[in-house]
Amino acid sequence: MIAPPLALYAHFPWCVQKCPYCDFNSYTLRDELPEQRYLDALLRDFDAQLPAVSGRTLTSIFLGGGTPSLFSPASIGRLIAHAKAQLGLANDAEVTLEANPGTIERGRFAEYRAAGVTRVSLGAQSFDARQLKLLGRIHSADETRRAAEELHAAGLANFNLDLMYALPGQTGAAAEADLRAALALEPAHLSQYHLTIEPGTLFAAAPPVQPADDIVDDMLERSLRTLTEAGFEQYEVSGYARPGLRCAHNLNYWTFGDYLGIGAGAHGKITDPDRRLVARTQRMREPRRYLAEDPGTLVHKQIGARDLPFEFAMNGFRLVDGFTDDLFEGRTGLPIAILEESLRDLTARGLVKRRPKYWAATPQGFRFLNDILVELLPDTESALRS
């Protein structure tokens, strides 16, 4: 077992306004942004985790949220420079900043780029004024268009647009119109998420009526057709990219790579190849407590041999190309034979296909990924028991 690539995720927990569908660890900003204090806490958090990854170089950085674009380019630059100085960052490494189109002032993207950001992920969600209002978004479609223009002008053509579909009252044609409006902005990458009603959100308390399954199927077919015609490749359940412009940071998650997680509620995953152990880490969720604890307790939980195959597969099957036997064995330290029986069953059910040395979901399996995961859990348990 060798140490996999190592990425860095930094979480920025505040938003101008909490969206009614969102269950991310994000909070409406009610007072002034504690920018310097939070930055100081992030750097301390990073330093406290360094001993677990000494000698390793970062392969990508993702500044996510919440809304990291509420933080100034100077602060973002300070974090990137610190991470680089402490661990090093591979040449041409991807450094992504998540941005809400409602928080971007003129000229801001050029400053983020100068600060070390190489890629931006913009939360567009929809281009339909009625949907944007229903989703509680703080921006208009025109503001998203302006943000995209700014990105091109700043030399950050490598950007992603997040879109949501299966929105209340949405037809297949309306979802396609959203997609075409997004493509007109010439993004490098597109993420398309099925609106899910998450427990604890405002939408869960008063769920909007979403389109029926046959309409959602129509949306997915239109998406694949429209995006393929536009030169995009689907490489993940929700991810489409122009050739060569897949998101390196997310690919590292899906190939079960390692990552440091810093910031309120941030998760990490770290492999100790010498002891053949894989652990998950988590910081406390609540920003005020995170700021007070300096840098506070890092919850550290080993992934047991029972759960490892499942956790690996949960990520690996999200990719159109799936995973190789070698990747499974290298990342988990376990033999692929442990999955053999359940993979055979899944193949017989038409949910998984075997290519030489490769396992991947079929189009049917892709549509019902949960069925694959449910199958993997119990079989793995019995294989380990025997």
Ligand X SMILES: C[S@@+](CC[C@H](N)C(=O)[O-])C[C@H]1O[C@@H](n2cnc3c(N)ncnc32)[C@H](O)[C@@H]1O
What residues between 80 and 109 interact with ligand SF4 by CB under 6 A? Answer: 100
State the nearest-atom distance from the C-beta of 65 to ligand X, in Å: 5
* Interface pick for ligand SF4 out of 3, 5, 24, 307 (rule CB under 6 A): 24
Sorted by sequence, the CB contacts under 8 Å of residue 166 that are 6+ apart come out as 175, 194, 195, 210, 211, 216, 219
Residue with smaller CB distance to ligand SF4, 265 or 322 = 265
Tell me the three state secondary structure of residue 345.
Answer: helix
Pick between residue 27 and residue 368 the one whose CB is nearest to ligand SF4. Answer: 27
Considering only CA atoms, which of 166, 68, 67 is closest in space to residue 126?
166
How would you list the strands of the sheet with 358-361, edge to edge?
323-324, 358-361, 352-355
Q: For the beta carbon of residue 231, count every other beta carbon within 10 angstroms.
A: 11
Q: Which of residues 116-155 bind ligand SF4 (CB under 6 A)?
A: 123
Stretch of residues binding ligand SF4 (CB under 6 A), selected from 64-72, 245-253, 285-293, 347-355: 64-72
Task: Please answer whether residues 82 and 59 qualify as being in contact, where contact means their C-beta atoms are separated by less than 8 angstroms.
Answer: no
**Residue 13 binds ligand SF4, judged by CB under 6 A:** no
Interhelix angle 369-385/340-348, nearest 10 degrees: 150
214: buried, middle or exposed (CB in 10 Å: 19+, 13-18, 0-12)?
A: exposed
Between 24 and 368, whose beta carbon lies closer to ligand SF4? 24
Q: Which does 62 bind (CB under 5 to 8 A by kind): ligand X, ligand SF4, none?
A: none
Binding residues for ligand X, per CB under 6 A? 21-22, 24, 64-65, 67, 98, 100, 123, 125, 162, 164, 193, 195-196, 198
Select from 13-21, 181-189, 201-209, 309-317 the region that touches ligand SF4 (CB under 6 A).
13-21
Determine contact, residues 240/190, Cβ cutoff 8 Å.
yes
- Nearer Cβ to ligand SF4 (70/346): 70
Which residue in 4, 65, 73, 295 binds ligand SF4 (CB under 6 A)? 65
Identify which of residues 10 and 352 has a Cβ nearer to ligand SF4 in the complex: 10
Task: Return the closest-CA partner of residue 79 out of 107, 48, 47, 127.
Answer: 47
The correct pick among 4, 66, 295, 309 for binding ligand SF4 (CB under 6 A) is: 66
198 binds, among ligand X, ligand SF4, none (CB under 5 to 8 A by kind): ligand X
- Residue 11 or 331: the one with the smaller Cβ distance to ligand X is 11
At 281, which amino acid appears?
A: T
Instruction: Give the CA count within 13 Å in the CB-facing half-sphere of 308.
Output: 25
The one of ligand X, ligand SF4, none whose footprint includes residue 196, by CB under 5 to 8 A per kind, is ligand X
Q: How many residues bind ligand SF4 (CB under 6 A)?
A: 11
Say whether the peptide bond before residue 34 is cis (omega within 30 degrees of 0).
Answer: no
Token reading at 260: 């440091």
Minimum distance from CB of 243 to ligand SF4 (Å)? Answer: 28
State how far the Cα of 370 lies from the Cα of 128, in Å rounded to an integer. 31
CA 253 vs. chain centroid, Å, equals 8
Name the residue nearer to ligand X (CB basis): 123 or 322.
123
Q: Which is nearer to ligand SF4, 42 or 338 (CB)?
A: 42
Q: Which residues bind ligand SF4 (CB under 6 A)?
A: 15, 18-19, 22, 24, 26, 65-67, 100, 123
